[in-house]
Amino acid sequence: MNTVTIEARKDGRTKPGVIRRVLSLLAGLPPSVLFGGAIVLFWLVTALTVQFWPLHDPLALAGRRLQPPSADHWLGTDALGRDVLSRTLHGAIYSMPIATIVVLAGVVIGAALGAIAGYVGGKVDAAIMRLVDITVAFPPILLAMTITATLGPGIVNAAIAMIIVWWPIYARLMRAQVLEVKEREHVEAAIAGGAGHIRILGIHILPLCWAPILINATMDFGQVVLLAASLSFVGLGATPPTPEWGSMIYDGASRFYSWWIAFGPGMAILTLVLGFSFLGDGLRDYFDPKSQ
């Protein structure tokens, strides 16, 4: 793959060349990556540009209340007469950044602690890993609910809670990778060559440890979206009138006979979680030498 990229850069001045090479690169990817990627891309673009789309104001009265889907309101209106389609699409503005921030922070914190634990070993390792054990001993939703309830409801507090819940997964993953890679010969050679710890860890070990973390992180995006929605559903995440998917589903749940209120956000969560799952699955297949 590296070769392909480098070649593309070398002679990719002409447009047809670039397009052809991108297409051949895409063709080489598993279909699940393409499918998942397309969904994720759709929601990403939505999150970035939805303010400029010709939609109803997601917070304002857009028509008669509790109207089923129609030509004017493709996904109907909610109990305050707001357009459900507009609210669903605007929901991406909250879900996508939350997922990104939580996964990024989880990866950074978890990977750093995991790498230190794996590389240093001994008491430091034991201390970090016990902390991990304690954190994962609680069901994630329960721990996140407890933390958010303590900090008070709100998207920011929900994100903090989710980061606290999420980092241990990456710490474990990274530690296992580091433990394996640090026994390799090139690392021993580097040690023999007198390289410092930071250099060994940063240049000789970590670059070989990222693939599983990245794959895991991709799949986790969906899970974070789901957890954020769950927190909002129980009233601990987004506060009204924010069009967050979880809280929209909560609104829908109490108006059971107006099924369309929960349908939009439900589909949004479904597609996004599936998209990330497909993407993560496909990437794992793609990077796993055994499956190729």
Partner 1 sequence: MTRRSEMRGPHRRPMAMIAALATATTLAAWSGAPAFAQDQAPSLIVARDMDLNSLDPARAFCDTCQIYLSATYDRLVDIGADNTSLVPMLATDWTISADHTEVTFKLNPAARFADGSPVEAKDVKWSLERLKNIKGGFSYIMDGVISVEAPDAATVVVKLDKPNSDFVGSLSAPYAGILDSDLVAQHGGNANADAASTDTAEEWLLANSAGAGPYVLSAYSPNNELRLKRNDNYWGDKPAVGEFVFRQTKDAVAQSQLLESGNGDIAMNVDPTTAGSITNPEITVSTVPSFNMVYLVLSPGAKNLPHSLDAKIRAAIAKAVDYDTLIDFTLEGQGKRLGSPLPNGFPGSGQVEPTAFDLEGAKALMAEAGAADGFTLDAVYPNVNQYGVDYSLMMQKVQQDLAAINVQLNLQPVEFSVWRERINGDGIPLTAVFFAPDYYGSAQYVQYFGMMDGTVWYKRAGGANDPTLANPQTPELLAKALASEGEESAKYYSELASIMAAENIILPIVSPDAVFVARKGISGLRYSACCNLVLSDITVD
Number of residues that bind partner 1 (CB under 8 A): 21
Write each residue from 72 to 111 as x if it is in contact with partner 1 (CB under 8 A), else as -, in one continuous string. -------xxx------------------------------
Q: Which of residues 147-176 bind partner 1 (CB under 8 A)?
A: 149, 152-153
For 184, list phi and psi in degrees, rounded to 5: -70, 160
Tokens of 221: 């995006």
| Choice between 95 and 258, CB closer to partner 1 | 258
From 230, 233, 220, 234, select the one nearest 273 (Cα to Cα). Answer: 220
Q: Which of residues 104-133 bind partner 1 (CB under 8 A)?
A: none
Q: Choose one: 60-68, 95-103, 129-137, 272-280; the region binding partner 1 (CB under 8 A).
A: 60-68
156: number of Cβ within 10 Å: 11
User: Is residue 63 involved in binding partner 1 (CB under 8 A)?
Assistant: no
| Choice between 113 and 161, CB closer to partner 1 | 161
For the chain, the distance separating the N- and C-terminal CA atoms, rounded to the nearest angstrom, is 14
Of the candidates 19, 22, 41, 61, which one interacts with partner 1 according to CB under 8 A?
A: 61
Using an 8 Å Cβ cutoff, are 286 and 29 in contact? yes
Conformation bin of residue 77: beta by default, left when phi > 0, alpha when psi is -120 to 50? beta
C-alpha 233: how far from its chain's center? 19
Query: How far are the Cα atoms of 99, 133, 187, 204, 205 from residue 194, in angstroms, in the given order?
Result: 41, 35, 11, 13, 15
Shortest Cβ 233–partner 1 spacing (Å): 12
User: Is residue 21 involved in binding partner 1 (CB under 8 A)?
Assistant: no
User: Is residue 143 involved in binding partner 1 (CB under 8 A)?
Assistant: no
Rounded Cα–Cα distance for residues 7 and 83 (Å): 49
125: number of Cβ within 10 Å: 17
| Choice between 18 and 55, CB closer to partner 1 | 55
Using an 8 Å Cβ cutoff, are 285 and 215 in contact? no
| Choice between 196 and 241, CB closer to partner 1 | 241
Write each residue from 192 to 231 as x if it is in contact with partner 1 (CB under 8 A), else as -, in one continuous string. ----------------------------------------
Tokens of 265: 């956000």
DSSP class of residue 289 equals G
Write each residue from 225 to 264 as x if it is in contact with partner 1 (CB under 8 A), else as -, in one continuous string. ----------x---xxx---------x-xxxxx-------
Using an 8 Å Cβ cutoff, are 259 and 16 in contact? no
Shortest Cβ 159–partner 1 spacing (Å): 17
Q: Which residues bind partner 1 (CB under 8 A)?
A: 59-61, 65-66, 79-81, 149, 152-153, 235, 239-241, 251, 253-257
